[in-house]
Structure 1
Amino acid sequence: HDGVLIMIRRILLSVLPMLILSSALSAREITDMLGRKVTVPETPKKVYAPSPYGAYALYAMDPTLLAGWIFEIDPANYPYLHKSMQTLPMIGRVFGAGQSANLEVLLAAHPDLILMWSHVNEFSEKEAQKLQILNTPFIYAVDESIEDYTAIFKFLGKALNKEARGNQLSAYTEKTFTDVRNTLAKIPADQRPKVYYAEGLDGLSTECDDSIHVQLLKLAGDIDVHRCHTSNHKGFEKMSMETILGYNPDVILIQEKMFYDKIYSLPIWANVNAVKNKRVYLIPKAPFNWFDRPPSFMRIMGLKWLMSTLYPKQYPIDIRKETRSFYRLFMNIDLSQKQLDEVLRPSGDYRTKPIGATP
């Protein structure tokens, strides 16, 4: 620990002039989502978000504001991302393994604002205090449900001095939830499909219905077949094939392409209704996962995709048009026809007919 502190002090001395200069710039006071009064730069230039949730939300607001990223980016996703992501430093999450190296990169990035994320088991005040050595203000967004994104985008608009952008994303988000609620109000519970969320390379891991990792199933009609209380934040509840056969889901949602590619050839799955009726779907994830892990703002598009997949008659949207509009608004890119096909049909498999895909 002494070595880490010495390194931090050394780097701080090298960036102290910049810290002094930044403190002299115009500032304003805002109230964050925890009710804290915080003095922030009038127009932040570089923001660090140590939480996956915050980093993704910040990307949606303005990718050029990112001081650094938290995960290694698959180069295959670069065409779907802002060009700045190709050279963005990989800071990581600061806490945990690789802490000293991450802190060095973080200090060198000179963030003038830190976006913290208040969520169950995410960050404690003790961890937030570790970042105070930067002498950089930090603000909290509060996310207890995906539905909080309506307020989160408005808050980020104010905090980042980008109110028009925040209000635009907030309005789109709220309309999505409203349309879903209005649709489900007309569909009796016994007419909603039973869904099994298959995780892992064998499909034998899933989530309890109260988990953050399956909030979309809750919003899409409370249709998760696995009813239980989440034992830990990580999830991945282990399942037996006997239990899955007992559930006999109408629809299976799959995270891993390897499992999706082989499920129809596995005799043990052949008697499950979802497999018999070809209602097995691989979740889109370019450039960020639409459903989970991490549960980001992409779930807003994921909810539209899920509703159109489960209730095509009651929720008859043009998923290709909606996907294009979402990527244009949230990702600032115009998808080509080829990219659109790759996003909506990630497996390249024609055994099932993806909603909205051309023959």
Structure 2
Amino acid sequence: MKTMLSLLLLLASQLIFAQTRVITDMAGRKVTIPVKINRILPHDEKTCLMLFPCSSGKLISRGLNPDNTDMKYIHESYRKLPITDIKNPEAVMSAAPDIIIAGCFVPEDYSRYEKLSKQTNIPLVIIDLNILKMDNSYRFLGSLLGENKETKACADFLDNFYKELSQLQKTNAKNNASAYLAVGSDGLMTAPSGSKHAQLFDLLGIRNAAETEIEARGYATVSLEQIMLWKPDYIFTVDKGGDDPYTEIYASPLWKKIPAVQKKHVFHIPEEPYNWFGNPPSINRIPGLILLSEFFYRQSQKKAHEQIKAFYRLFYKYPLSETELARLLQSKK
């Protein structure tokens, strides 16, 4: 009897082993995962956005509470995803995912993700969200999930976009204008160079007008007098609804002394379904790069619009019309 029990336990362990495989994730971590993955829990919404175009219905949650947004211009299947409190191990286990996937800016501190995996005994895989390496991330996801058709389409789009952007930077003279990122209802919070919130400026070599130090969470509070001294040529506003400073900037007589306002170079960055400059910092920033390449590298508007619509069609599974795109860009003058 004892021999039979030992044999059964051995067979069971071999069966479990046969149903798993060991992979190396994008952080270089060895992770044992199921051979067949049917239920994926994204760690947060920035990860969910990355996974959405290639998960083939395997996403079981959006991970964290969504931002306050109407969620326009994205397929309804995304909007209908339930919310799981990722900070609650019991809620995570109740969701019964096969794996958890966390989008990170490799390299970074992974301890909080690994803690969740240990608490729940659910394997956690890390993918890279660095904006100019996302083509590699989709290739990795293709290997991980076996969704090669979808992941290949995403990787190919990004690979072509990166090449076109690099060529544009080489062949087109850059507009040497400066840019200011206006945050908060008065526009007096900004993201200086080196902040993740201003990363698109840094990536494209755009001169950040905010000559100040980062204070907290990647932002700095400044005065209107400082902005007058910096004389930004472009102002981009990024907050939502009543918190967005776009209207205040054009209405204030003091802001009218700034070159960007005088030239009507103040633009509200589109935010549907997610902000093009970040929040969350994921695949949604690609349209931001497209927009800035039009402003600062003289990309043709027609080409930029084609790229944005192709992006929405592939990554948000939404056929953005010219009318809808015009609505998104309504502050673009």
Aligned to 2:228: 245
SS of structure 2 residue aligned to 1:33: coil
Contact 1:50 1:92 in 2 (8 A): no
Aligned to 2:65: 71
Task: Calculate percent identity across the aligned residue pairs.
Answer: 28
5+ long unaligned stretches in structure 2:
1-12
Aligned to 1:201: 185
Could you tell me how far apart the structure 1 residues matched to 2:179 and 2:67 are? 30
Q: Could you tell me how far 1:124 is from its partner in structure 2? A: 3.6
Q: Could you tell me how far 1:281 is from its partner in structure 2? A: 0.7
Alignment of 1:255-266 (within 5 A): 255-256=238-239, 257=241, 258-266=244-252
Contact 1:176 1:300 in 2 (8 A): no
Work out whether 1:80 is the aligned partner of 2:64. Answer: no
Aligned to 1:164: 149
Alignment of 1:81-100 (within 5 A): 81-94=74-87
Could you tell me how far apart the structure 2 residues matched to 1:201 and 1:122 are? 32
Which string of whole-angstrom CA distances, capped at 9 and with x for unpartnered residues, describes residues 256-311 of structure 1?
35411232110110011111001111101110111122211111121111211334
2:126 aligned residue (125, 140, 143): 140
5+ long unaligned stretches in structure 1:
1-19, 95-101, 354-359
Which string of whole-angstrom CA distances, capped at 9 and with x for unpartnered residues, describes residues 231-276 of structure 1?
44x1221111111111101111101354112321101100111110
Cα distance 1:171–1:87, how it changes in 2: closer, same or farther (>3 A)? closer
Q: Could you tell me how far 1:334 is from its partner in structure 2? A: 1.2
Q: Could you tell me how far 1:31 is from its partner in structure 2? A: 1.5
Q: Higher mean Cα deviation, 325-334 or 126-135? A: 126-135
Q: Which has the higher contact order (CA 8 A, sep 6+)?
A: 2
Work out whether 1:254 is the aligned partner of 2:204. Answer: no
Work out whether 1:215 is the aligned partner of 2:199. Answer: yes
Aligned to 2:8: none
Could you tell me how far apart the structure 2 residues matched to 1:309 and 1:133 are? 48
1:296 aligned residue (277, 282, 287): 282
Could you tell me how far apart the structure 2 residues matched to 1:45 and 1:339 are? 34
Could you tell me how far apart the structure 1 residues matched to 2:106 and 2:220 are? 18
Contact 1:184 1:221 in 2 (8 A): no
2:136 aligned residue (134, 147, 151): 151
SS of structure 2 residue aligned to 1:76: coil
**Matched residues, number:** 316
Q: Higher mean Cα deviation, 122-131 or 39-48? A: 122-131
Could you tell me how far apart the structure 2 residues matched to 1:344 and 1:43 are? 42
How much is the aligned-residue C-alpha RMSD, in angstroms? 2.7
Aligned to 1:6: none
Alignment of 1:326-345 (within 5 A): 326-345=311-330
Q: Could you tell me how far 1:157 is from its partner in structure 2? A: 1.7
Contact 2:191 2:198 in 1 (8 A): yes
Cα distance 1:343–1:62, how it changes in 2: closer, same or farther (>3 A)? farther
Which string of whole-angstrom CA distances, capped at 9 and with x for unpartnered residues, describes residues 136-192 of structure 1?
21111234x311212212112211212332232122213222222222224556x42
Could you tell me how far apart the structure 1 residues matched to 2:47 and 2:291 are? 23
Could you tell me how far apart the structure 2 residues matched to 1:120 and 1:26 are? 29
Cα distance 1:321–1:315, how it changes in 2: closer, same or farther (>3 A)? closer
Q: Could you tell me how far 1:224 is from its partner in structure 2? A: 1.3
Q: TM-score by structure 1 length?
A: 0.79
Contact 1:180 1:220 in 2 (8 A): no
Which residue identity lines up with residue 249 of structure 1 in the other structure?
P
Aligned to 1:5: none
Which residue identity lines up with residue 232 of structure 2 in the other structure?
P
Which residue identity lines up with residue 212 of structure 1 in the other structure?
K
Cα distance 1:48–1:339, how it changes in 2: closer, same or farther (>3 A)? same
Q: Higher mean Cα deviation, 52-61 or 123-132? A: 123-132
Could you tell me how far apart the structure 1 residues matched to 2:188 and 2:56 are? 36
Contact 1:115 1:141 in 2 (8 A): yes
Could you tell me how far apart the structure 2 residues matched to 1:131 and 1:38 are? 11
Could you tell me how far apart the structure 1 residues matched to 2:223 and 2:67 are? 34
Could you tell me how far apart the structure 2 residues matched to 1:282 and 1:54 are? 25
Q: TM-score by structure 2 length?
A: 0.84
SS of structure 2 residue aligned to 1:140: strand
Could you tell me how far apart the structure 1 residues matched to 2:150 and 2:32 are? 21
Q: Could you tell me how far 1:55 is from its partner in structure 2? A: 2.3
Contact 1:31 1:37 in 2 (8 A): yes
Aligned to 2:9: none
Could you tell me how far apart the structure 2 residues matched to 1:260 and 1:63 are? 39
1:176 aligned residue (147, 161, 166): 161
